[in-house]
Homo-oligomer: A and B are copies of this chain.
Amino acid sequence: MTRITAQLAFLTEADKLKSTLRATTLCDASRRENSGEHSWHIALYAMVLAEHAVKPVNIARVIQMLLIHDLVEIDAGDCPIHGDHDPAEMARIEQAAANRIFHLLPPDQALAFRALWDEFEAAETDDAIFAKSIDRVQPVIANLETDGGTWPAFNVTAAQLQARVGVKVERGAPAIWNALRHRIDAWFAA
């Protein structure tokens, strides 16, 4: 197989991410969001909100991280943050998915994409910490736009939202969480 044939096969496989459904809906509540359009939206979030990163980031790397961060869900599906799951089992499935999907690419790109995905998952570098905060905050806004969205169905409390989401957003972009706090407090108080 030629290099370009492998690249195009990877891109056609990636198309399947448009059929992976997330728990969150669109902001007009018309339907559930898929992981492909979610990945576009958060890449745009990062582009617009980069100035609020707690430490300076390389926005090109952050965006590329976000573009590939959910590809493993083609095999593993989306795992709602407020849902019930076994983190170790989920990690095992996602590792297997990363091994399969990134290795559709030519070897040099497979290694580079896998390294970027590993960096995102580890959430230790400034770029990955900011990318994670963006990935976490976008569904919060979708929920706020849809009268709590998935929060009632998952029986989420204000304390759980802070523990599961707020601390992660604050770690990478405290200004964004601060900007949402009054809307979040108002929803949970109502």
Q: Which of A's residues lie within 8 Å of B, judged by CB?
A: 2, 4-5, 7-8, 10-12, 14-16, 18-19, 26-28, 30, 33-34, 36-37, 39-41, 43-45, 47-49, 52, 59-60, 63-64, 67-68, 105, 109, 138, 141-142, 145, 175-176, 179-180
A183's closest neighbor in chain B, by CB?
Answer: B8
- Specify which chain B residues have a CB less than 8 angstroms from the CB of A18 in the assembled complex: 26, 33, 37, 41
B179 lies within 8 A of A48 (CB): no
A19 lies within 8 A of B30 (CB): yes
Report the bound CA distance from A67 to B37 in whole Å. 11
- Specify which chain B residues have a CB less than 8 angstroms from the CB of A15 in the assembled complex: 26-28, 41, 142, 145
- Specify which chain B residues have a CB less than 8 angstroms from the CB of A138 in the assembled complex: 11
How distant is A32 from chain B, measured CB to nearest CB, in Å?
11
A11 lies within 8 A of B175 (CB): no
B44 lies within 8 A of A67 (CB): yes
- Specify which chain B residues have a CB less than 8 angstroms from the CB of A5 in the assembled complex: 179
- Specify which chain B residues have a CB less than 8 angstroms from the CB of A26 in the assembled complex: 15, 18-19
Report the bound CA distance from A16 to B40 in whole Å. 12
- Specify which chain B residues have a CB less than 8 angstroms from the CB of A109 in the assembled complex: 48
- Specify which chain B residues have a CB less than 8 angstroms from the CB of A60 in the assembled complex: 59-60, 63
- Specify which chain B residues have a CB less than 8 angstroms from the CB of A11 in the assembled complex: 41, 44-45, 48-49, 138, 141
Q: List 19 A-B contacts (CB under 8 A).
A: A4-B49, A4-B176, A4-B179, A10-B48, A12-B27, A12-B145, A15-B26, A15-B142, A15-B145, A16-B28, A19-B28, A19-B30, A36-B41, A37-B37, A44-B67, A44-B68, A48-B109, A60-B63, A63-B63
